[in-house]
Chains A and B, each alone.
Chain A
Amino acid sequence: MRKRYVAFLAESDVRLGRREVGSAIAASALALFGETGFSELSLRLLEFSEAEQRGFVVCSHNGVERVVAAMSAVSEIGGARVHLRPLGVSGTVRALRRKFLSGKAGFISREEKVSLEGKDFILRGTTGGLCYAEPVDEVLRERLRILKLRFVGALCKELRGEEDAADAKHGL
Chain B
Amino acid sequence: MFTDLHVHSLHSSGADTPACLQRLARSMGTELCLCDGVVHEGIASGVEVHAESRRELLGDIRRYWRKFDFLIVHGGSMEINRCAARDSRVDVLVHPYAGRRDCGVDTVVAREAARSGVAIGIDLEDVVAARGAERARLLSQVGEILRLSRKYGFRIAVSTGARCRYALRGTKEVMALLQCIGFTEEEALAASQHVPRELLEKKRLARREVGRGVRLAQG
Task: Point out residues on A near B: beta carbons under 8 Å.
Answer: 11-12, 31-33, 65-66, 68-69, 71-73, 75, 81-83, 85-86, 116-117, 129-130, 143-144, 147, 149, 152-155, 158
Q: Is the pair B128, A75 in contact by a Cβ cutoff of 8 Å?
A: yes
B19 and A83 contacting across the interface, CB-CB below 8 Å:
no
Q: Contact check: which of A75, A143, A144, A158 meets B167 at CB < 8 Å?
A: A75
Shortest Cβ-Cβ A-B pairs, 8 listed:
A153-B16, A83-B166, A72-B173, A69-B176, A68-B176, A69-B180, A153-B20, A154-B17
Known contacts A69-B177, A75-B166; 6 further A-B pairs (Cβ under 8 A):
A11-B166, A31-B135, A73-B127, A82-B166, A85-B28, A154-B16
Given contacts A69-B177, A72-B177, A130-B23, contact A83 B16 (CB under 8 A): no
Task: Answer whether residue B15 sits at the interface, using C-beta atoms and an 8 A cutoff.
Answer: yes
**With A154-B19, A154-B20, A158-B19 known to touch, is A85 a contact of B13 (CB < 8 Å)?**
no
Chain B residues within 8 Å of chain A by Cβ, number: 34
Q: Name B's A-contacting residues (CB within 8 A).
A: 10, 13, 15-17, 19-21, 23-24, 28, 125, 127-129, 131-132, 135, 163-170, 172-177, 179-180
In the bound complex, do residue A68 and residue B173 qualify as a contact, i.e. CB atoms below 8 Å apart? yes
Chain A residues closer than 8 Å to B131, beta-carbon distance:
31
* B20 touching A155, Cβ below 8 Å: yes
Report B172 CB to chain A, min CB distance, Å.
Answer: 6
Contact pick for B176, options A72, A81, A147, A152, CB 8 Å: A72
In the assembled complex, the Cα of A124 lies from the Cα of B153 at a distance in Å of 50
- A154 CA to B177 CA, complexed, in Å: 28
Rounded to whole Å, the gap between the CB of A100 and the closest CB of chain B is 13
What chain B residues lie within 8 Å of A147 (beta carbons)? 15, 163-164
B180 in complex: contacting residue of A66, A83, A85, A130, CB < 8 Å: A66
Q: Verify A86–B16 contact, CB threshold 8 A.
A: no
State the Cβ distance, B120 to closest chain A Cβ, in Å: 22
Interface residue from B19, B20, B164, B177 paired with A73 (Cβ < 8 Å): B177
Bound CA span A86–B169, Å: 10
Q: How far is the CB of B42 from chain A (nearest CB, A)?
A: 13
A155 pairs with B173, CB closer than 8 A: no
A163 to chain B, nearest CB (A): 21
The minimal Cβ–Cβ distance linking B164 to chain A, given in whole angstroms, is 5
Most buried by A among B17, B128, B168, B179: B17
A54 to B10, CA, bound (A): 28
